[in-house]
Amino acid sequence: MEKFIIWLLPLPPLLSFFLIILLTNKSNKLSHSIAIGAAFLSWLGSMVIFIRALGVREFGKNVFGSAINWLPTGATWLKVGVLIDPLSAAVIFFVAWTVLAIFIYSVGYHNFGQLKGEHDIPGLPPHGAVSKDENGHQHNVPSIEPMYARFFAFISLFAFGMYTLVVSDNLLTLFVGWEIMGLCSYLLIGFWFGKPSARNAAVKAFMTTRIGDVFMLLGIAFVYSFTGSLSFQEIFKPAMLQALASTPAFFGLTTAGFIGLLLFIGTVGKSAQWPLHVWLPDAMEGPTPVSAMIHAATMVSAGVYMVIRMFPLISAGWSEGLPLNTTMSIIAFIGAFTALFAATIAVAQNDIKRVLAYSTISQLGFMIAALGIGAYVAAAFHLVTHAFFKALLFLGSGSVIHGMEHGVLHTGDHTIDPQNMFNMGGLRKKMPITFWTFLIGGFALSGFPILTAGFWSKDEIFAEAFGNGHLTVFIVLAIAAFLTAFYTMRQITLTFFGKSRTKAAEHASETTWSMTVPLIILSLFAIGYGWVGIPEKFPGFGGIFPNWFHNFVGGTLTETPKEVVFSWIPLFTSLGVALGGLFFGWLAYRRVESPAEDKLQIPILINKYYFDELYNFVFVKPAEWVAEKFSYLFMDRIVIDGFLHGVARSSLFLGSLFRNKIDKPIINELIGDGTGNIVKNSGSGLRKIQAGRIQYYMIASLTVLVIFALVYYFLIGGM
Amino acid sequence: MNIPLSWYLILAASLFCVGLFGVLSRKNAIAILLGIELMLNAVNINLVAFWRYLDPIQMAGQVFAVIVFAVAAAEVAVGLALIISVYRRRNTVVADDIDLMKW
Amino acid sequence: MTVERIIFIAAGVLILGSALMVVTTRKLIQAALWLVSALFGVTILYAMLQANFLAVVQVVVYIGAIAVLFIFAVMLTRKEMRDNSTQTRSNWWFSALLGGLILSGLVFMILGEPQFSRLAESIPPGLDTLRNLGTALVSPGAYVLPFEVSSILLLGALIGAVYIASRKEEDK
């Protein structure tokens, strides 16, 4: 029964995509109803599966799985199928909730029910309609998105991709889901395709993740060629892992380590780790639900999910207590570095969504660093909690932007950027629900103690890092956590506290229920989810509830990892950085009115360490040069076109040669006209025989007779 | 008799050739017919000479000659009628001018 | 040189001479009259060959009808009283050559055949050539068919000549 449901989980969003594209494109209401209905069905199926999974003892050993023979490969079959084990059960839980919440949010975000703007062009964001109220006053109100149905089609396709990735039991269908999400990311970032910045951002996102995907595909190919299978259950058999760990591959790594590294590079691209992080901030060009879904809850999480899934492969040959193998060291390094790197950039950003983008990169770095040091459960825990509170924060920022746009339309001052935090201020009173939910999300992100989920998951990472002796990682992550709290509080202070800095902010108002209700739901998870993973040894709270998350998700591995030994140092560090960062952030920014007063507007931070410029110089410009000068001008024009022109010219030459030298003189004149002329001339010569005069005829015939007689007599024989 | 047959034949042959010469070289159409008459007479002489010398009991030679007479007469009549008719149309009896059948 | 031979030679000279005059004289009336003379010579020949009937028929038919017809035709087709242009074509020499060749060939053939130098046998005394001719012309086992056909031929020639030579309304 469960297997049947699992197979069907990705199906409703896919059907929704096709139905909207093919049939209900014209009707906005029908489109969003189909999309939300589909998301609801998948949510329902996911909840059923999750609850059943909870009921199974030792779920890690008794997973729900089903596979079919798909591709015949000689004597064997390549099997594809579905698998829900503890890890994917936890992941599908948050995927279902966030997807449903974001779908409902999108209805309000795209101003369903509002008027169509007269000047709205499909491909550009809507910019308001004019409505008359009862008194005849004209108001500028937000207008409905012109490409409303298309949006729901795309996010349905995206949901299909994510569900496929999560339920798949083999690397092939995982990669299929991965790529579908990549495509939808491109489509959705470039949703407002009329804006050149959006188009460029979409291409940049796709290209950058593609680099990662290429290496991931190489890793998948390597897996298949070594093990003969792509199913997780086949690859993770102990004997297979043993073989993988003991066979050397390139660069001094074992096969397992090399494959793990290749697959990890895919994650570096997809989860926007350094050095492939450049696409994520630009991806904020898309509508905010897109940012929430793709870049918080699902797509970037998919990268981390994949690398968590492949942990047995990455850590083959390693066990707790041993020093990390090469691949794990690389992973830990990149994760920790990215976490700090992105956090430093985030403190200097002024766009509300950019701060969250860099925050996402930083938090993903946390998860990856956790996995790199072998903290399997901590990484998974932070993945789940982060999905909830980051989606909450993005949706909240979307709500803020909507409120600001309302104010902009009201005042009519279109020069104000509704996304710039320095144009906001004092929104606490104007948009209370948004404020409280955003505050909860922000505290969760910072790791506010006890009450927020982020605290528990981050604390576990610190504990693992410290407890297993990875002190460099510990310190780097601690600094990053401090900065996280700092910029989060900066963001909240600038946006919600103080006085309104612009007229638009004064006229901001709360958004509709379809946007605020998902915020409330997600904030409940952001608070409560942390309590399912309280470590047993925690002072005070530990032991009241069993550490359900650790036992459940830890059961995915062959041996459930042991909980780390409790120590006060990581706990105090965690409390200190969180509370300290929040306090200092509030302190520093409660009086700041403009960017000029912001001491942290350091150029190198604002310009993101000039990585975009570096990549532009090193990769993009040479590629453009090759395309323009080499491929186009040289190869295409000179070589290929030259060849073609040469062929054409020689054909023409041959043709004219044949025509003028052979066809005309020989065939036309010599043979054609010549035969005619010969006949004509000989005819006109011969016709003179027929003179019409009888005597002439007689003379001629007698002459011939005489000649014949003479010939006969003298030559032949005589009479 | 003591005239050899060959004398008659030679005479007939010469008369024939004279007539032939007339046919081939005279301009006037009637003159051509005159030549034809001479040729016919030469034929008759031949026929009768052969009748007399080879087999005078059978009348084949003379009968043939009689038929030739009849034919000659018919032919002259029709020929002259034609010439007169042509003369009426074209006002000429020169054979060379009657060349409608030329190319 | 017997009498017959002399007569023969005389008749031969007459015939050939007249024939030559027929084909060379300028004036057409003279040509027709010379034809009459040639036909007379042929008559003499017939008489010498003891084809009496034919001799008479020759005079009556050829001279009396055909030659006279010629004279009529000449008269009817005269363009002008005097006709001074040459009467022979410009290539008469070629025709003469041709005739000469044919003549020499024929003479050569005649003289080469030994059969042709025989002399005539005398006619048996009881043979009535005229009667035999008449019988032969009308007896069905003999030559009645050619006789009848030639009479039809004459009829046709008669009608045809009348038709051709008659004036039609649109003529003239």
Q: Would you call B24 and A695 a contact, using CB atoms and an 8 Å cutoff?
A: yes
Q: Does the residue C101 lie in any domain?
A: no
Q: Is B95 on the interface with A (CB under 8 A)?
A: yes
Instruction: Give pLDDT tens digits for A498-548.
Output: 888 887 777 777 888 888 899 999 999 888 888 887 777 777 776 677 778
Assess whether A496 and A471 both reside in one domain: yes
User: For B99, which of A687, A693, A698 is closest by C-beta distance?
Assistant: A693
C residues 87-116 near A, CB within 8 Å?
89, 91, 94-95, 98, 101-102, 105, 109, 112
**Nearest by Cα to A339 from A454, A457, A482:** A482
pLDDT, tens only, A221-262: 999 988 888 888 888 888 888 888 888 878 878 888 889 999
In a domain, A154, yes or no: no
C partners (3+ CB pairs within 8 A) are A, B
Q: How far apart are CA A658 and CA A668, in angstroms?
A: 12
CB contact under 8 A, B9 and C129: no
Q: Are residues C3 and C72 in the same domain?
A: yes
Residue of chain C whose alpha carbon sits nearest to that of B20: C99
Range of the domain at C38: 1-80
Q: What is the radius of gyration, based on Cα positions, of chain C?
A: 21
**Quick check: is C113 in a domain?**
no
Q: Give residues 127 to 166 of C whose Cβ lies within 8 Å of B.
A: 127, 129, 132-133, 135-137, 142-143, 146-147, 150-151, 153-154, 156-158, 160-162, 164-165
* CA–CA distance, A531 with A540 (Å, rounded to integer): 13
What average pLDDT does range C45-71 have in this prediction? Answer: 92
The answer to the question of residue C93 being in a domain is no
> Which residue range forms the structural domain that includes residue A345?
329-602
**Choice between B50 and C129, residue whose per-residue pLDDT is larger:** B50
> Cβ of B38 and C8 within 8 Å?
no
C84 touches chain B (CB under 8 A): no
pLDDT in tens, A364-398: 999 999 999 988 899 999 999 999 999 999 999 99
Do both A501 and A572 map to the same domain? yes
* Predicted interface score ipTM higher than 0.95: no
A585's tokens = 């952030």
- Give yes or no for residue C46 having a pLDDT over 90: yes
Q: A320-329, C65-74, C115-124, C160-169: lowest mean pLDDT where?
A: C115-124
Could you tell me if residue C122 is inside a domain? Answer: no
Mean pLDDT across chain A:
86
pLDDT band at C135 (very low <50, low <70, confident <90, very high): confident
Q: Both A454 and A358 in a single domain?
A: yes
Residues of C in contact with B4 (CB under 8 A): 116-119
Residues 6+ apart with CB under 8 A from A621: none
The answer to whether position A45 is within a domain reads no
Phi, psi of A67 (to 5 degrees): -135, 150
Q: Is C76 in the same domain as C132?
A: no
Count of other CB atoms within 10 angstroms of residue A601: 14
Choose among B52, B91, B92: nearest Cβ to C51: B52
- B10 CB neighbours in chain C (<8 A) are 107, 110-111
Last residue of a domain, one of C20, C52, C80: C80
Q: Could B95 and A694 be called an inter-chain contact, meaning their C-beta atoms sit closer than 8 Å?
A: yes
**Interface residue B92 vs chain A (CB under 8 A):** no
| Cβ distance of A706 and C102 shorter than 8 Å | yes
- Report which secondary-structure segment, H or E, holds A515: helix A513-528
Residues from A contacting C (CB-CB < 8 Å) are 695, 699, 702-703, 706, 709, 719
Q: What is the pLDDT of residue A416?
A: 76
For residue C110, the chain A residues in CB contact (below 8 A) are none
From chain A, the residues in CB contact with B20 under 8 A are: 702
Q: Tell me which H or E stretch contains A302.
A: helix A299-309
Q: Which residues of C touch A695 (CB under 8 A)?
A: 89
Q: Which residues of A touch B101 (CB under 8 A)?
A: 690, 692
3-state class (DSSP) for residue A128: coil
Asked which of C80, C105, C137 is the last residue of a domain, the reply is C80
**Cβ within 8 Å, pair C105-A695:** no
- Please indicate, yes or no, if residue A290 is contained in any of the structural domains: no
Q: Specify if A422 maps to a domain.
A: yes
Same domain, yes or no: C71 and C12: yes
Inter-chain CB proximity C95 and A709 less than 8 Å: no
Same domain, A624 and A554: no
* Residue A22 touches chain B, beta carbons under 8 Å: no
Give contacts of A704 with chain B, Cβ < 8 Å. none
Q: What percent of chain A has pLDDT over 70?
A: 99
* Each residue's pLDDT tens digit, A399-441: 998 888 888 887 777 777 888 888 888 888 888 889 999 999 9
Q: Does B28 touch chain A if contact means CB atoms closer than 8 Å? A: no
- pLDDT band for position A333 (cuts 50, 70, 90): very high
Q: Which residue of B has its CA nearest to C163?
A: B81
Q: Are A108 and A123 in contact (CB under 8 A)?
A: no
Q: Please give the tally of structural domains in chain C.
A: 2
Domain boundary among A579, A602, A625: A602
Q: Which two tokens stand for residue A162?
A: 């994510």
Nearest to A467 by CA among A359, A550, A573, A567: A567
The answer to whether residue C19 scores a pLDDT higher than 90 is yes
Q: What is the mean pLDDT of chain C?
A: 86
Q: Is residue A462 part of a domain?
A: yes
Q: Convert the pLDDT of each residue in A695-708 to its tens digit.
A: 888 888 999 999 99
Last-in-domain residue among C41, C61, C80: C80
Per-residue pLDDT band for A553 (boundaries 50, 70, 90) equals confident
pLDDT band per the 50, 70, 90 thresholds, residue A164? very high
Among A residues 670-689, those touching chain B with beta carbons less than 8 Å apart = 687-688
Decide if A702 and B20 are in contact by the 8 Å CB cutoff: yes
Can you tell me the distance from the alpha carbon of A576 to that of A709, in angstroms, rounded to the nearest whole number? 146
Q: Assess A691–B contact: CB distance below 8 Å, yes or no.
A: yes
Please state, in angstroms and rounded to a whole number, the distance separating the CA atoms of residues A663 and A671.
Answer: 10
Is C97 within the bounds of a domain?
Answer: no
pLDDT in tens, A196-229: 999 999 999 999 999 999 999 999 999 998 888 8
What the block records as the tokens of A302 is 């998919």
Task: State residue C169's pLDDT score.
Answer: 61
- Is A410 strand, coil or helix? helix
Question: CB distance from C14 to chain B under 8 Å?
Answer: no
Q: Do A692 and B99 touch (CB under 8 A)?
A: yes
For residue A86, pLDDT over 80 is answered with: yes
C92: in domain: no
pLDDT of residue C39: 95
Which pLDDT score is estimated for A684? 85
Same domain (yes/no): A555, A672: no
In the predicted model, is pLDDT for residue A94 greater than 60? yes
Residue whose entry in the numeric block shows the structure tokens 């691209």: A269
Query: According to the model, what pLDDT value does residue A327 have?
Result: 87
Residue with tokens 């001339």: A681
Same domain, C2 and C75: yes
Average pLDDT over every residue of C47-75: 91
- Identify the residue with better confidence: C128 or A301: A301
Give me the helices (H) in chain C, please. 3-24, 28-48, 52-57, 68-76, 92-112, 129-138, 144-165
| Judgement on whether residues A515 and A567 belong to the same structural domain of the protein | yes
- Pairwise CB contact (< 8 Å): B71 & C150: yes
Q: Which residue has the higher pLDDT, A460 or A669?
A: A460
State pLDDT tens for residues A295-331: 777 888 899 999 999 998 888 877 777 778 888 889 9
Start-to-end Cα distance in chain B: 55
Average pLDDT over residues C58-81: 86
A688 CB neighbours in chain B (<8 A) are: 103
DSSP string covering C46-86: HHHTT-HHHHHHIIIIIIIIIIHHHHHHHHHT-SSS---S-
Q: Do C117 and B33 touch (CB under 8 A)?
A: no
Q: Which residues of chain B have pLDDT under 70?
A: 1, 103
Last residue of a domain, one of A602, A635, A663: A602
Query: CA-CA distance, A351 to A410, in Å (whole number)?
Result: 21
Last residue of a domain, one of A577, A602, A627: A602
pLDDT of residue B37: 94
Q: Does the pLDDT of residue C172 top 70, yes or no?
A: no
Same domain, A563 and A585: yes
- What are the backbone angles phi and psi of residue A420, rounded to the nearest 5°? -85, 125
3-state secondary structure of A142: coil
Residue A29 binned pLDDT confidence (cut-offs 50, 70, 90): confident
**What residue type is C103 in one-letter code?**
L
Is B41–C129 a contact, with Cβ atoms under 8 angstroms apart? no
* Residue A341 is assigned to a structural domain of this protein: yes
- Count of the separate structural domains present in chain A: 3
Q: How far is CA A400 from CA A139, A260, A414, A505, in A?
A: 20, 41, 17, 10
A118 is a domain residue: no
pLDDT tens by residue, C141-154: 888 999 999 999 99
In angstroms, the separation between the Cα of residue A673 and the nearest Cα of chain B is 23
Task: Tell me, yes or no, whether A586 and A715 share the same domain.
Answer: no
**C13 in contact with B, Cβ within 8 Å:** no
Rounded to whole angstroms, how far apart are CA atoms A127 and A193?
15
Cβ within 8 Å, pair C70-B67? no
The amino acid at A672: G
Domain of C15, CATH number, reads: 1.20.120.1200
Closest-approach residue (CA) in chain C for B65: C54
Question: Using a CB-CB distance cutoff of 8 angstroms, which residues of chain A are in contact with residue C94?
Answer: 699
User: Considering only CB atoms, which chain A residues are within 8 Å of B100?
Assistant: 692
Inform me whether the pLDDT recorded for C83 exceeds 70. Answer: no
Identify the closest residue of chain C to A706 by CA–CA distance.
C102
Residue A355 sits in the same domain as residue A452: yes
Instruction: Identify which of A396, A369, A397 has the alpha carbon closest to the alpha carbon of residue A383.
Output: A369
A716: distance to nearest CA of chain C, Å? Answer: 16
| Neighboring chain C residues of A709 at a CB cutoff of 8 Å | 105
Residues of C in contact with A706 (CB under 8 A): 98, 101-102, 105
pLDDT for residue A719: 53
Domains of chain B (ranges, CATH numbers): 28-94 (1.10.287.3510)
The better pLDDT of the pair C7, C90 is held by: C7
In a mutational test of the B interface, the residue from A694, A703, A704 whose CB has the highest number of chain B CBs within 10 Å is A694
| Continuous segment of H or E residues that includes residue A131 | strand A129-132
The answer to whether residue A452 is domain-embedded is yes
Nearest neighbour of A692 by CB, restricted to B26, B32, B100? B100
Looking at the fold, whether A478 and A418 belong to one and the same domain comes out as yes
C49 CB within 8 Å of a chain B CB: yes
Q: Which of C82, C92, C96 is nearest to C26 (CA)?
A: C82
Specify whether A653 is located in the same domain as A712: no
Q: What are phi and psi of B19, to 5 degrees?
A: -60, -40
**A396 and A543 share one domain:** yes
User: Do residues C140 and C70 both lie within one domain?
Assistant: no
